[in-house]
Structure 1
Amino acid sequence: MMPVNTFLRSTFFPGTLTFVTEEVMLDYKKGKRKMAPFVAPRVGGITMDRQGYRTDKYAAPKIAPQREISVDDLVIRGMGENIFSQRTPADRQAELLGRDMVELDDMITRREEWMAAQLLFNGKITMKGYIDRNNSNYIEQDLDYGFTNKVILAGDNVWTGASAQIYANLKAWRLAAIQASGKAPTICVLGQSAADAFMNDADIQKKMNMYHVLLADINPKIVSDAVTYIGRLPELGLDIYTYNDWYLDEDGNEYPFVPVDHVLLGRPGMGEVLYGAVTQMENDQFVTIEGSRVPKSWSDNQNEQRMIRLTSRPVPKPESVDDWYVAHVI
Structure 2
Amino acid sequence: MSVFDRYELAQYIEEQAQVPTFYLNRFASAIVESEDEEVLVEMKFAGKEVAPLVMPMEQGQVIYERQTSSKKLTPAYTKMKDIITPKHAMKRRVGEKVRDKVTPLQRLNAATVDQFVTHDQRLTRLLEYMCSRAFTDGKITLTYKDDRQALVDFGRDASLTVVLDDSAGNEFWSNENTKIVDQIDTHMKRMSDAKGGVAATDMVMPLDVWQHFKNNAQVKDTLNTDLAGQTGALERGVTMPDGIELKGTLGNNLRVWVDTRTVSIKGVQTALQQAKKVTFLSDAVEATQYFGAILDVEAMLAMRMYSKHWNENSPSVRVAESQSAPLVAPGNPNATSSMTVLA
What secondary structure does 1:254 align onto?
A: strand
> 1:145 aligns to what?
154
Number of residues of Structure 1 aligned to a counterpart in Structure 2: 316
Q: Which structure's residues are more often helix, by fraction?
A: 2
Unaligned runs of 5+ in 1: 131-136
* 1:202 equivalenced with 2:217 (yes/no): yes
> 1:133 aligns to what?
none
* 1:322 equivalenced with 2:334 (yes/no): yes
Whether the aligned pair in 2 keeps the contact of 1:276 and 1:314 (CA below 8 Å) is yes
What secondary structure does 1:281 align onto?
A: coil
| Residues 156-183 of structure 1 deviation map (CA, whole Å, 9 limit, x = unaligned) | 7010126511111111111111111342
* 1:229 equivalenced with 2:241 (yes/no): no
Query: Post-superposition shift, 1:219?
Result: 3.6
Q: 1:46 to 1:12 in 2, by over 3 A?
A: closer
Unaligned runs of 5+ in 2: 1-17
Q: 1:261 to 1:5 in 2, by over 3 A?
A: farther
Q: Following the alignment from structure 1 to structure 2, what is the Cα–Cα distance between the partners of residues 308 and 76? A: 19
Moved more, 186-195 or 139-148: 139-148
Q: Following the alignment from structure 1 to structure 2, what is the Cα–Cα distance between the partners of residues 188 and 244? A: 14
Whether the aligned pair in 1 keeps the contact of 2:34 and 2:291 (CA below 8 Å) is yes
Whether the aligned pair in 1 keeps the contact of 2:263 and 2:270 (CA below 8 Å) is yes
Q: Residue type of the partner of 1:143? A: V
Q: TM-score, normalised by structure 1?
A: 0.83
Moved more, 219-228 or 108-117: 219-228
> 2:304 aligns to what?
292
> 1:301 aligns to what?
313
5 Å-filtered alignment, 1:102-113, equals 102-113=117-128
Q: Which structure's residues are more often strand, by fraction?
A: 1
Query: Post-superposition shift, 1:244?
Result: 1.5
* 1:274 equivalenced with 2:290 (yes/no): yes
Query: Post-superposition shift, 1:93?
Result: 0.9
Identity across the alignment (%): 19
Q: TM-score, normalised by structure 2?
A: 0.80
Q: 1:204 to 1:97 in 2, by over 3 A?
A: same
| Residues 67-94 of structure 1 deviation map (CA, whole Å, 9 limit, x = unaligned) | 11123444456678899x9865323312
Query: Post-superposition shift, 1:115?
Result: 0.8
What secondary structure does 2:114 align onto?
A: helix
| Residues 129-165 of structure 1 deviation map (CA, whole Å, 9 limit, x = unaligned) | 33xxxxxx25432211122211011227010126511
Q: 1:28 to 1:277 in 2, by over 3 A?
A: same
Q: Following the alignment from structure 1 to structure 2, what is the Cα–Cα distance between the partners of residues 42 and 195? A: 57
What secondary structure does 2:43 align onto?
A: strand
Q: Residue type of the partner of 1:153? A: L
Pick from 63, 66, 82: which aligns with 2:81? 66
Q: 1:95 to 1:269 in 2, by over 3 A?
A: farther
